[in-house]
Amino acid sequence: MAAVRLDLGDDERVRRRDGSAVLRMTEVEAADLVLDPSDPVTGERADERMILNMGPAHPSTHGVLRLLLEMEGETVLRSKPIIGYLHTGMEKTGENLTFLQGPTNVTRMDYASPLFSELVFALATEQLLGIEVPERATWIRMLMCELNRVASHLLFQATNGMDLGAVSMMIYGWREREEVLRFFEKVTGLRMNHNYIRPGGVAADLSDGWQDDVRHLLDIIPPRLDEYEVLLNDQPIFRARLQGVGVLAPAEALALSATGPILRATGYDWDLRRDEPYLAYDRVDFDVVVGTCGDAFDRFAVRLEEIRQSLHIVEQILDLLPDGDYRTQDKKVTPPPRARIDESMEALIHHFKIFTEGFHVPEGEVYAAVESPRGELGCYLVSDGGPKPYRMHIRGPSFANLQTLPHLMHGRLVADAVAVISSVDPIMGEVDR
């Protein structure tokens, strides 16, 4: 394939990086800010300039995100996202939990799409272990992850609509999400934070009659997506609030390490499912949805269409899912079935060792990445040969995507700030970890 070199226009990158969009001030400095009226640059309208604090307890900041907005009248000049209000020390906790307990920890990072975090941790662990996961487990993982992508994008549609004032969208989005969560509860036992995808496979096989449940989802969701298009896309106020707002260029997005729908909405065609296939994505057929101009409306439309593509993948999985084991049969990694413990001493010992000490993972380091609904979700895992990770670092896509916020809000009205944050769709759990 011919190498596509991006023309990274120097002046554009430099312009955005010279501090013209990002406010680099501590809180104390911002609070004590006194503008000098005689200053040629800032002085002109010094009496109209102020630094406004937005959040962390704010209905529209999508969790505990705090923003310092330097404003002149209603226009946002520079801004600074302040994060850390949900810092949970999960990477330190990960060093104290065994590899089997790891998914319970990482699943709570991106709580809108928890199965992806579990998946990337399991993929990294399996690479270090050097084990092969059975076909059926791979396809089950793919099915659950694509349904989770649908649920996460529906959450985005709901919160995006609510932030812009279409409050009924909140109720509609949750109506569909409940259907998907009902399926998850049936299969994994939990509505959220499932701890279902574990190193070696999945925790349990799909429930009986799962094909009917999935077909039910495939029947009811697409017509309702059409309803959303009528409710939102065709509505002039919704369009006016999103079109042209928060425009991002592809070169900027790449320079700022943004990935996922934000990058695809700029017109850059990049999706890890197609370009660095994992699981069985090279055996299903789907389109990568790409936007045109990188504004907030494109980000909204890309995610809406991605729901349809995910449902298309789910439809194919319905036919292609093979029979077999749902987790690897390697006795050192997979706990034995509970009934076996009564019969076999060896099974009892394995159960004991796996659940108290944990299975040992050979020394090494690996980076695994998947395409989560927010972008490239990566896991850098270092093992020292013991039962617990030596270092577990999760590359949260929202952490990098948030760096685009000041550039998206630069020069826009403060009312657009809400639309912009909502279109970036950050989940603060994976930002702060």
Partner 1 sequence: MSETDVATEAHEDAPVASTALFGQAVLYPDRGAYLATVESLRDEGYCTATDLTIVDYLTHPGRSGLPGGVQPERFEVVVGLFDHARRERVRLRIQVPADDPTVPSLFDLFPGTEAMEREAWDLFGVSFEGHPDHSRILLPEDWVGHPLRKDEGIGAIPVQFKSASDRR
Partner 2 sequence: MARVPILGDISGVLDEGLEGLEHNFVTARIEDLVKWSRARSCWPATFGLACCAIEMMATGAAHYDLARYGMEVFRASPRQADLMIVAGRVSQKMAPVLRQIYDQMMEPKWVISMGVCASSGGMFNNYAIVQGVDQVVPVDVYAPGCPPGPETLMHAILTLHDKILTGELTSRREQTGAGAGFDLADFPAPEPPAPEPEEAP
Q: How far apart are CA 364 and CA 350, in angstroms?
A: 24
* Other C-beta atoms lying within 10 Å of the C-beta of residue 210: 17
Least spacing, CB of residue 186 vs partner 2, in Å: 14
Q: How far apart are CA 336 and CA 359, in angstroms?
A: 13
Least spacing, CB of residue 251 vs partner 1, in Å: 9
Q: How far apart are CA 135 and CA 123, in angstroms?
A: 14
| Residue 216 touches which of partner 1, partner 2, none (Cβ within 5-8 Å per kind) | none
284 CB contacts (<8 Å, ≥6 apart)?
142, 313, 316, 317, 320
CA angle, corner 78, sides to 237 and 303, nearest 5?
40
Q: How far apart are CA 20 and CA 385, in angstroms?
A: 48
Residue type, 298: D
- Which residue's structure tokens are 């685009």? 404
- Supply 46's token pair: 């010094």
223 CB contacts (<8 Å, ≥6 apart)?
none
Looking at residues 260 to 299 of the shown chain, list those that interact with partner 1 (rule: CB under 8 A): 270, 275-276
Going across the sheet that includes 391-395, the strands are 364-372, 375-383, 391-395
* Residue number with CB closer to partner 1 (111 or 390): 390
Indicate whether 131 belongs to the interface with partner 1 (CB under 8 A).
no
| Residue 230 touches which of partner 2, partner 1, none (Cβ within 5-8 Å per kind) | none
* Residue number with CB closer to partner 2 (102 or 291): 102
Indicate whether 346 belongs to the interface with partner 1 (CB under 8 A).
no
Looking at residues 8 to 37 of the shown chain, list those that interact with partner 1 (rule: CB under 8 A): 8, 13, 16-17, 19, 22, 24, 26-27
DSSP 97: S
Indicate whether 3 belongs to the interface with partner 1 (CB under 8 A).
yes
* Residue number with CB closer to partner 1 (192 or 254): 254
* Residue number with CB closer to partner 2 (87 or 216): 87
Q: Under the rule (CB under 8 A), what is the footprint of partner 2? A: 56-59, 63-64, 84-90, 92-93, 104-105, 108, 111-112, 155, 170-171, 174-175, 177-178, 181, 191-193, 428-429, 432
Q: Can you give the binding site for partner 1, defined by CB under 8 A?
A: 1-6, 8, 13, 16-17, 19, 22, 24, 26-27, 83-84, 87, 89, 91-93, 96, 127-128, 254-259, 270, 275-276, 363-367, 369, 376, 378, 380, 382, 384, 390-391, 393, 395, 399-400, 402-403, 432-433
